[in-house]
Each structure stands twice: as C-alpha cells, then as structure tokens.
C-alpha cells in the first residue's frame, strides 16, 4: 500500500485521495502539520509542502499535479473509459487548465486563506504563525469566492462535467477545493444551483466517502457537509 502525507483540510491532498479512490486503490494516510516542519518530513520534501506520496520503493513524489501525472501513467493509462485524463490532447489540456485553476488560482485567492485563518491558525503556535484570525484576510477571501463560484456554476451548467463529457481530474480538483470551503460552511449553494447539482454528483461517488468522514478536532463541519442530498 502506498503512503500519503496529507492534511485533511488541504485541497491538494484531497485531490490526490480522490484520484486514487476513483481507481479503487487505498492509501495509508499520515497526517502532517506542515507548519511544524518535522525534520523527517523535510527529508522527504525540503520545501515542507503537501502532499507527498511514498510510492513504490518508498520513492517520494511531491506535489498534487506531479502525483496526478504519476497516477495517470501508472494507473490511468490502463483504465480506458475510466481514465481521469481523456485520450484527446485538447481535452487533457482543458482538464489540466482547470486543475491549475482550482488548485492554483482558487487556492491562492480563497481556499488557503479561509482554511488558514479559520482552521489552522488556532492550532499553530504563535512562533509558527498562529494566533487570532485575520478578519481582513477572511473578508477578502470571501469576496474572492463569489467569482469562483459563478465560474463553477457556469461550467457545471454548460457541460456534462467541468472539463467535458466525462469526469476528469478537473472535477476532482474543483470538488477538493470546494469541499474544504463547504466543510467550513463558506458556500451558500442556493446561489449556485448548477454547481450544487454537480457537487452532489461528485460527493455521491464512492471515492468521496473518506473525505466526508474527515473531522478536525475542535472544528466540526457544517451540518450538511456529509449529506448527499443537501
């Protein structure tokens, strides 16, 4: 069994877990608090970032998109119709674009700020960046969330899946990012009906069940988080 160093409220880690789940493969999970900068973890990834996969032979593979390419080359290529990258190169390019959108742009503008201020800072020692939440950072992130949700709603309303006709890495990246925000109760789904219907489809998949069971000590999820028909 492969091992993933992760944090349950890190969108990139959730993305990797979903990808392996879609291919029916279990992972051994080790929860890592990257702000601690454990020397054993830094030996695997000097950057100190998540996720890190210990693959065959305990080779460390670092970063969500790098791990996704590894999964596609070692698992996806033999899955044919279940492959998370389409055979068509333009469809693959669109999936990669949206993965970058959600794990890059949405993360930088919204997710990491709300997760840090609301979930991580209360757990972090002051010398490691902990302390009271930054109300201004929360306000800015919440304002930034609206155009991201409008875009997701447009994608979900005009396509079968976010990147095209079949589920792909794009859907997993978006669902990973939005599931963190949903855990925190930051999304009013009634404003985005197409995105809501798409999200219900994704979170109803077997690969999503472990994520719906995630809990952070001292920070329970919003009441509808694990409801498949909220």
pTM of the model: 0.96
94 CB contacts (<8 Å, ≥6 apart)?
163, 164, 170
pLDDT digits (tens, 9 = 90+) for 98-113: 999 999 999 999 999 9
Residue 213: per-residue pLDDT: 96
Residue 155: per-residue pLDDT: 98
Strands 2-6 and 60-62: unpaired
Question: DSSP for 68-112?
Answer: HHHHHHHTGGGTGGG-SS-SSHHHHHHHHHHHHIIIIIIIIIIIH
129: confidence class by pLDDT, cuts 50, 70, 90: confident
* Average pLDDT of span 54-66: 95
Percent of the chain at pLDDT > 90 equals 87
Residue 189: per-residue pLDDT: 97
Rounded to 5 degrees, φ, ψ at 105 are: -65, -50
């Amino acid at each position: 069994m492969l091992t993933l160093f992760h944090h349950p409220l890190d969108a990139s880690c959730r993305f990797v877990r979903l990808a392996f789940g879609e291919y029916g493969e279990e992972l051994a999970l080790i929860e890592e608090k990257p702000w601690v900068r454990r020397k054993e973890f830094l030996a695997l990834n000097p950057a100190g970032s998540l996720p890190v996969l210990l693959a065959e032979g305990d080779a460390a593979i670092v970063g969500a998109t790098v791990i996704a390419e590894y999964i596609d080359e070692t698992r996806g290529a033999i899955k044919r119709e279940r492959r998370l990258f389409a055979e068509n190169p333009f469809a693959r390019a669109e999936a990669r674009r949206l993965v970058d959108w959600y794990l890059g742009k949405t993360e930088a503008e919204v997710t990491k700020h709300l997760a840090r201020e609301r979930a991580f800072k209360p757990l972090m020692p002051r010398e490691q960046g902990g302390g009271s939440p930054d109300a201004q950072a929360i306000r800015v992130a919440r304002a930034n969330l609206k155009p991201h949700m409008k875009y997701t709603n447009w994608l979900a309303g005009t396509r079968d899946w976010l990147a095209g006709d079949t589920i792909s890495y794009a859907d997993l990246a978006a669902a990973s990012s939005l599931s963190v925000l949903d855990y925190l109760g930051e999304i009013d789904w009634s404003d985005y009906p197409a995105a809501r219907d798409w999200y219900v489809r994704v979170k109803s998949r077997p690969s999503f069940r472990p994520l719906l069971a995630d809990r952070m000590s001292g920070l329970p999820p919003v009441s509808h988080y694990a409801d498949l028909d909220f």
